[in-house]
Amino acid sequence: MIVSISNEHLAVEFSTKGAELKSIVGVDSAINYMWRGDTQFWGKFSPVLFPIVGALKENTYEYQGQRYTLSRHGFARDLEFEHELVAATEINFKLKHTEETLKIYPFEFELILRYRLRGASLQCTYQVVNLGSQTMLFSIGGHPAFAAPLNQQGVYTDYYLQFNNDDKLTFHHIDDNLIADQTTTIELKDKTLPLKHELFYGDALVFKNLKSNHIRLLNTKNYNGLNFHFEGFPYFGIWAAIDADFVCLEPWCGIADAVSHNQQLEEKEGMEKLVAKETWERSWEVCCF
């Protein structure tokens, strides 16, 4: 089911499956800032990564002596969320544990996604509520794919990313969906990373020590683009499918297993720990122009 919110600047659509953001369209410009989901390359738009980010080693983990299987990025992106239209400019999506989720993830939870329009900005807030009696271990992250070029005008190499606090980028390599020890450093000119398809031929660029909390997607042909702001996410990914005309800006609280991980959930890097009956919250925001 497709649902929407709008104001005088933006019209935004979502799917109730996965609470997935599907389009952000400028009311006056008619520019769609989101990737169009061409299945030839990648059929998603902005999946929600929960209760893990990335892949588990052998797609399995152990917790309190029991072994579980959980697919890459978790199950939230594949499930139907309840939704509530709070106002013309705000919508909430909710997902709770079920008998089926407890078989693969033994925690009682409520996951809330709140999307809110403020002027030409869309804010996405994640709330995780621990409904159980034990400390909950989880990861969560965003995966929004932004079009480059916008409205299919121009070419990919017209576009670049500008970081507010980084002069160089050191990213971890990915080995069979897992985080390798090997890193590569890219020196930036004017805090700018030019986009080219070859950047992502080895999979995503995964950052553990990104200094920036603000990334701009800009181009050399016109003034259209976006500002992406995020706070409190210790990991970040930048990715595109091979030769696809988009770039994903991915704030993460969590990360894929390391190649050498022992598969113990309590020892997994990047897991958030939420005590019983407490609520956890993080937000990111995109401003379109």
Express each pLDDT in 63-109 by its tens digit: 999 999 999 999 999 999 999 999 999 999 999 999 999 999 999 99
**pLDDT given at position 152:** 82
**pLDDT given at position 254:** 98
Total tally of structural domains belonging to the chain: 1
**pLDDT given at position 34:** 98
**pLDDT given at position 88:** 98
Phi, psi angles (nearest 5°) of residue 134: -115, 165
What is the mean pLDDT of the segment spanning 127-139? 98
What is the mean pLDDT of the segment spanning 221-239? 97
What is the mean pLDDT of the segment spanning 38-56? 98
279 lies in which domain range? 2-288
Is the model's pLDDT at 198 over the cut of 90? yes
What is the mean pLDDT of the segment spanning 130-142? 98
What is the mean pLDDT of the segment spanning 272-277? 98
Average pLDDT, the chain: 98
Q: Provide the pLDDT confidence category of residue 214 given band limits of 50, 70 and 90.
A: very high
Residue 242 identity (one-letter amino acid)? I
CATH code of the domain covering residue 231: 2.70.98.10
**pLDDT given at position 184:** 98
Q: Provide the pLDDT confidence category of residue 153 given band limits of 50, 70 and 90.
A: confident
Query: Where is average pLDDT lowest: 24-33, 146-155, 170-179, 241-250?
Result: 146-155
**pLDDT given at position 151:** 87
